[in-house]
Amino acid sequence: VLLSYGTYTNLELLEYYGFLLEDNPNEKVFIPLDLDMHSLSCWPKESLYIHQNGRPSFALMCALRLWATPPQQRKSIGHLAYSGCPISKGNEIYVMKWIGKKCDALLKEMPTSVEEDKSLVHLIDKMVEYENLGEWVKEASAVFGGEFGNNNILKAAYGVEGDNELTSLVRTKMLIDRWKLAVQWRLMYKTVVARCISYCTDIINSLSTQ
């Protein structure tokens, strides 16, 4: 039996079906682009993204190569950009540096790092080992104070007054599962961004030695 969910990103899978794929070939990460970058390109916005493996999409590279070209030269060499060909070594290095800086800025804007999110997922998995949720929160707060201090999910997980034990347990599991999925999604997002930084750095180093 073959079951296909279509070419959904992890965010779409999470929104529509409630699960994620660790190695989703359809995963996409979009980075902020200036308006003039969009106006220079005929590519639709949804095609300007970073692949799951960290590589910029064909359309994104075409658009940025053209944008990084001096205005007076764009008409004469635009065909190279739209065909996917590098315009020059200097142009390629400039584009890779620009993408790398954008990705680095994205990671720095986030309240947690990749390693912290990995630890958080591990801590959430350990929750089942605790009979008392409060004890788990105490241990977790010692590591991730900001993540747990005002966490509405954890507050709700303690249950609502009047709930019986079964209802409280069901609510707790549901909320914790949702929380874990949210952390996993942001971890996967950051991982793709980090891969892109590594990819850009490798390309820059390779071109610089030529």
- How far apart CA 103 and CA 197 sit, in angstroms, is 6
pLDDT at 48 over 60: yes
Report pLDDT digits (tens) over 146-159.
555 555 555 555 55
Mean pLDDT of the chain: 83
The alpha-helical segments, DSSP class H, found in 58-164 are: 58-67, 71-82, 89-109, 114-126, 133-143, 145-149, 152-157
Question: Are the C-beta atoms of 153 and 179 separated by less than 8 Å?
Answer: yes
What's the pLDDT band for 120 if we cut at 50, 70, 90? confident
Q: Using the 8-state DSSP alphabet, how is residue 131 labeled?
A: S
- Decide: residue 30, CB within 10 A, 0-12 exposed, 13-18 middle, 19+ buried: middle
- How far apart CA 182 and CA 109 sit, in angstroms, is 17
Report pLDDT digits (tens) over 3-18.
667 789 999 999 888 8
Q: Using the 8-state DSSP alphabet, how is residue 56 labeled?
A: B
